[in-house]
């Protein structure tokens, strides 16, 4: 028998393996390049978590104010300027329809001033009356309990718990809580040293000095309550939490310094900002960016699902209507005529009762008779409500009730797989099971769903050809800055903010120059962290200008930076030593500039979103039957309905059910070699991702 060269033997084996596994393309399993065959495609895109302000997510503003009698009323703010500031703040909040508020005052006791009944309110009368009640100082309880801000924080914790309990899960996931605390002094009395002893530690509790008041123990207890307040709010599924402190520095210097250190620690623990005010005449809630709404949501994962392909042990089968039943499982005889027990493979709901053929098969209903389940009776009273899919998970309102899932939340069990996908693919939609392996083939349920294989059958030998391959690049937190519009200096519009700036309260200064024949005035910019205004820019005519917030290290001969014309030469190289990172770009309409010197503060808001880029390769396509809409368009085949699910989770809360954004990508495939669109890659733009709407069902009082 002649010998066979080793390389020839290897080639024969490779060809044999390709025949066994259906290899059709040498790039099929390449890690970087998508396959070239017409029956498989790559989907790629970039998507970010939602911006709470842009999407008008529900916001709760809780105002907690020190009203203990003492220097706050007599020396620091006898003119009640803080109350004027609060009235303006409330009016601003009520102008935003997504905001509702609550007001607390504290001294020796804690008083909920608005609303006295219910949880939050948008009633301006209730809120402004609550502020007026803060004009009166409150005394101590007994001889010692004079300032109990810890009780105030505990009351806020209870308020938030009640509010979250009143909501649907989907609303909880996008509702953000902001606490604005106007603090004027330390807890009175301070905690004792023994209050910080571990439970059951009698040695600590009986040690010398255990009964002595302790600022450090008080700080430890305060930090603990704020950490629990924020942590438990997020664990309950809320979309975010911030604690801001405006420190009214009414005490002697040493105490003010101690309180500054404490409040800085508390705002760090509460995810917010701290600002100290030595006088009442410059109180401004914009100093802590009270309406800034950073997202606590993080990008979790992307799943790409072909709803028109049903993975089975024998491979992918066509599921033309995408109801989870393969065509040959619905039309058992393949004759197109419905016999008993059959359903229409081109209709999700054959009998038109609002319940899909798959769900009816699961719960034992007939797919050829109208069913009206008791749990859905109220849905029949509102037109369109029965078949509404509020959370875009593939299950309508009635089906969610029949399956026991949450109609306001795409992923009821928090395992990053939409409820509808789990129902169709046969995994547990009520308990997180993505890490389990139902069919014991060595691949987890979650990976099988992502890859497009069957989590209920041992299909390991098919995975090489069928499984989709993902590449995901996590970009982390993407930071954007934008400026609030100017109100008084309406002649100036801020177009662009350099991202090297920090969020906070900046300022613009306009100085007219009536004696200058060439220029009408000059503008300068102070950064949120700057102590002085940057170098002035001379204004000659309407147009665009750059304002630097830093001082120039080497001054120019003129002493000012002059820019004129209709646009700024942004690409022009700066003078030696000139900083480039502390600037804003503005547009000026000279006809609206005032004739007097004017300074206007404005807020630089920080927007942070969590983003990722993804590519899903080797997504398999099947030829499907045309549906009614396809026939109306003159198509010979139906679409492969590719759904791209992007899940978002509250930061550091991996087990909390999150929120999905969804994009639809229809691809028409005619075997063996026709596909529309025909490109190897299909790009999904972020604008194509849609978000579930929000039902506001929590108890917000308008009375």
Tens digits of residue pLDDT in 211-262: 999 999 999 999 999 999 999 998 888 888 999 999 999 999 999 999 999 9
% of the chain exceeding 70 in pLDDT: 88
Q: Read off the tokens for 538.
A: 């001379």
The pLDDT value recorded for residue 565 is 33
Q: Read off the tokens for 72.
A: 């706050």
Task: Please give the average per-residue pLDDT across 101-114, as a whole number.
Answer: 97
Tens digits of residue pLDDT in 31-68: 454 445 899 999 999 999 998 888 889 999 999 999 99
Task: Please give the average per-residue pLDDT across 508-526, as a whole number.
Answer: 94
Helix 215-235, helix 253-269: angle, nearest 10: 20
In sequence order, the 6+-apart residues with CB closer than 8 A to the CB of 285 are: 85, 89, 180, 244, 246
Place of tokens 């009351």: 155
% of the chain exceeding 90 in pLDDT: 67
In sequence order, the 6+-apart residues with CB closer than 8 A to the CB of 512 are: 520, 521, 593, 594, 595, 596, 597
The pLDDT value recorded for residue 397 is 95
The pLDDT value recorded for residue 700 is 57
The pLDDT value recorded for residue 13 is 40
Report which of residues 467 and 335 the model is more confident about: 467
Q: Specify the length of the chain in residues.
A: 703
pTM for the model stands at 0.75
CA-to-CA dists, residue 354 to 38, 43, 335, 423, 669, angstroms: 35, 32, 25, 16, 29
Long-range residue pairs from 561-566, CB within 8 A, at least 24 positions apart, any chain: 561/535, 561/536, 561/537, 562/519, 562/537, 562/538, 563/537, 563/538, 564/538, 564/540, 565/541, 566/541, 566/542
E strands in 295-384: 297-306, 309-312, 315-318
Q: How far apart are CA 391 and CA 406, in angstroms?
A: 9
* Burial classification of residue 86, based on how many CB atoms lie within 10 Å of its CB (0-12 exposed, 13-18 middle, 19 or more buried): buried
Tens digits of residue pLDDT in 437-455: 998 888 999 999 999 999 9
Give the torsion sign (CA, 484, 230, 239, 375): negative
The pLDDT value recorded for residue 157 is 97
Tens digits of residue pLDDT in 581-616: 789 999 999 999 999 999 999 988 877 889 999 999
The pLDDT value recorded for residue 76 is 96
The pLDDT value recorded for residue 484 is 85
- Determine how many CB atoms are found less than 10 A away from the CB of residue 210: 16
Conformational region of residue 56, where left means phi above 0, alpha means psi within -120 to 50, and beta covers everything else: left
For residue 395, what pLDDT band results from cuts at 50, 70 and 90?
very high
Is the pLDDT at 652 greater than 90? The verdict is: no
Q: How far apart are CA 491 and CA 288, in angstroms?
A: 26
Tens digits of residue pLDDT in 659-683: 899 999 999 999 999 999 988 899 9
Q: Read off the tokens for 274.
A: 């701290």
For residue 293, what pLDDT band results from cuts at 50, 70 and 90?
confident
Strand (E) or helix (H) holding 266? helix 253-269
Of 52-61, 106-115, 120-129, 479-488, the range with the lowest mean pLDDT is 479-488
Q: Read off the tokens for 257.
A: 């310094």
For residue 566, what pLDDT band results from cuts at 50, 70 and 90?
very low
The alpha-helical segments, DSSP class H, found in 395-459 are: 397-403, 419-425, 445-451
Asked if 476 contacts 454 with a C-beta cutoff of 8 angstroms, the reply is no
Is the pLDDT at 167 greater than 50? The verdict is: yes
Of 100-109, 136-145, 530-539, 559-568, the range with the lowest mean pLDDT is 559-568
Place of tokens 């069928």: 466
Is the pLDDT at 697 greater than 60? The verdict is: no
Please, what are the domains in the chain? Answer: 6-50+301-475+611-688 (no CATH), 59-294 (3.40.50.410), 490-593 (no CATH)
- Determine how many CB atoms are found less than 10 A away from the CB of residue 215: 16
Tens digits of residue pLDDT in 299-325: 989 999 999 999 998 889 999 999 999
Asked if 303 contacts 417 with a C-beta cutoff of 8 angstroms, the reply is yes
The pLDDT value recorded for residue 36 is 57
Report the mean per-residue pLDDT for the chain. 87
Is the pLDDT at 292 greater than 50? The verdict is: yes
- Determine how many CB atoms are found less than 10 A away from the CB of residue 184: 24
Q: Which residue(s) pair with 548 in the sheet? A: 583
Q: How far apart are CA 561 and CA 558, in angstroms?
A: 8
Task: Please give the average per-residue pLDDT across 337-366, as a whole number.
Answer: 90
For residue 574, what pLDDT band results from cuts at 50, 70 and 90?
very low
Report which of residues 208 and 102 the model is more confident about: 102
Q: How far apart are CA 414 and CA 658, in angstroms?
A: 7
Residue 245 has phi, psi (to 5 degrees) of -125, 125
E strands in 375-520: 469-483, 492-497, 504-512
Task: Please give the average per-residue pLDDT across 621-643, as a whole number.
Answer: 96
């Amino acid at each position: 028998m002649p010998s066979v060269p080793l390389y020839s033997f290897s080639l024969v084996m490779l060809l044999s393996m390709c025949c066994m596994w259906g290899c059709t393309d040498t790039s099929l399993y390449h890690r970087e390049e998508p396959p070239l065959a017409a029956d498989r495609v790559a989907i790629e895109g970039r998507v970010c978590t939602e911006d709470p302000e842009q999407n008008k997510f529900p916001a709760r503003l809780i105002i907690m104010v020190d009203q203990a009698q003492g220097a706050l009323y007599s020396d620091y703010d006898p003119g009640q300027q803080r109350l004027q500031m609060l009235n303006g703040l409330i009016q601003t909040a009520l102008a935003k329809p997504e905001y509702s508020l609550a007001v607390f005052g504290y001294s020796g006791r804690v008083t909920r001033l608005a609303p006295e009944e219910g949880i939050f309110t948008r009633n301006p009368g209730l809120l402004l009356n609550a502020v007026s009640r803060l004009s009166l100082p409150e005394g101590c309880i007994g001889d010692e309990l004079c300032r109990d801000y810890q009780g105030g924080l505990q009351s806020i914790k209870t308020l938030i718990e009640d509010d979250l309990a009143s909501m649907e899960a989907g609303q909880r996931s996008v509702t953000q809580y902001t606490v604005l605390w106007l603090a004027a002094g330390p807890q009175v009395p301070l905690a004792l040293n023994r209050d910080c002893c571990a439970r059951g530690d009698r040695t600590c509790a009986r040690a010398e000095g255990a009964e002595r008041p302790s600022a450090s123990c008080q700080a430890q207890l305060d930090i603990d309550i704020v950490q629990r307040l924020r942590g438990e709010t997020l664990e309950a599924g809320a979309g975010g939490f911030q604690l801001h402190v405006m420190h009214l520095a009414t005490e002697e210097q040493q105490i003010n310094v101690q309180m500054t250190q404490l409040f800085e620690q508390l705002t760090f623990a509460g995810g917010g900002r701290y600002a100290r005010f030595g006088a009442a005449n410059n109180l401004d809630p914009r100093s802590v960016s009270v309406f800034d709404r950073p997202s606590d949501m993080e990008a979790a994962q992307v799943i790409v699902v072909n709803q028109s392909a049903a993975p089975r042990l024998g491979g992918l089968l066509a599921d033309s209507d995408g109801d989870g039943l393969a065509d040959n499982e619905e039309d058992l005889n393949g004759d197109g005529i419905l016999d008993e027990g059959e359903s229409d493979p081109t209709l999700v709901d054959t009998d038109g009762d609002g319940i899909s053929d798959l769900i009816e098969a699961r719960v034992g209903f007939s797919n050829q008779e109208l069913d009206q389940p008791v749990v859905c009776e109220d849905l029949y009273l509102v037109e369109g409500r029965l078949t509404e899919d509020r959370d875009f998970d593939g299950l309508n309102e009635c089906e969610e009730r029949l399956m026991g899932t949450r109609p306001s939340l795409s992923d009821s069990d928090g395992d990053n797989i939409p409820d509808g996908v789990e129902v169709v693919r046969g995994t547990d939609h009520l308990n997180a099971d993505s890490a389990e392996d139902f069919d014991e083939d060595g691949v987890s349920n979650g990976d099988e769903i992502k890859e497009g294989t069957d989590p209920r059958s041992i299909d390991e030998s098919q995975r090489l050809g069928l499984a989709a391959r993902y590449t995901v690049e996590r970009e982390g937190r993407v930071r954007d800055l934008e400026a609030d519009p100017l109100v008084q200096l309406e002649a100036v519009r801020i177009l662009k903010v350099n991202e090297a700036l920090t969020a906070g309260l900046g300022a613009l200064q306009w100085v007219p120059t009536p004696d200058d024949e060439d220029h009408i005035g000059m503008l300068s910019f102070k950064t949120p962290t700057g102590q002085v205004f940057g170098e002035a820019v001379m204004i000659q005519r309407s147009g665009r200008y750059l304002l630097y917030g830093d001082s120039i290290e080497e001054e120019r001969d003129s002493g000012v930076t002059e820019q004129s014309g209709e646009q700024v030469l942004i690409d022009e190289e700066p003078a030696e030593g000139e900083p480039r990172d502390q600037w804003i770009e503005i547009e000026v309409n000279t006809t609206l500039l005032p004739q007097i010197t004017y300074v206007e503060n404005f807020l630089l808001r920080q927007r942070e979103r969590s983003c990722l880029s993804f590519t899903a390769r080797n997504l398999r396509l099947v030829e499907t039957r045309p549906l009614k809409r396809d026939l109306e368009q003159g198509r010979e085949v139906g679409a492969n309905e590719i759904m791209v699910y992007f899940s978002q989770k509250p930061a550091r809360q991996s087990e909390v059910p999150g929120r999905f954004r969804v994009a639809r990508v229809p691809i028409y495939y005619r075997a063996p070699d026709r596909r529309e669109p025909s490109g190897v890659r299909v790009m999904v733009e972020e604008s194509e991702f849609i978000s579930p709407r929000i039902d506001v069902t929590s108890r917000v009082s308008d009375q």
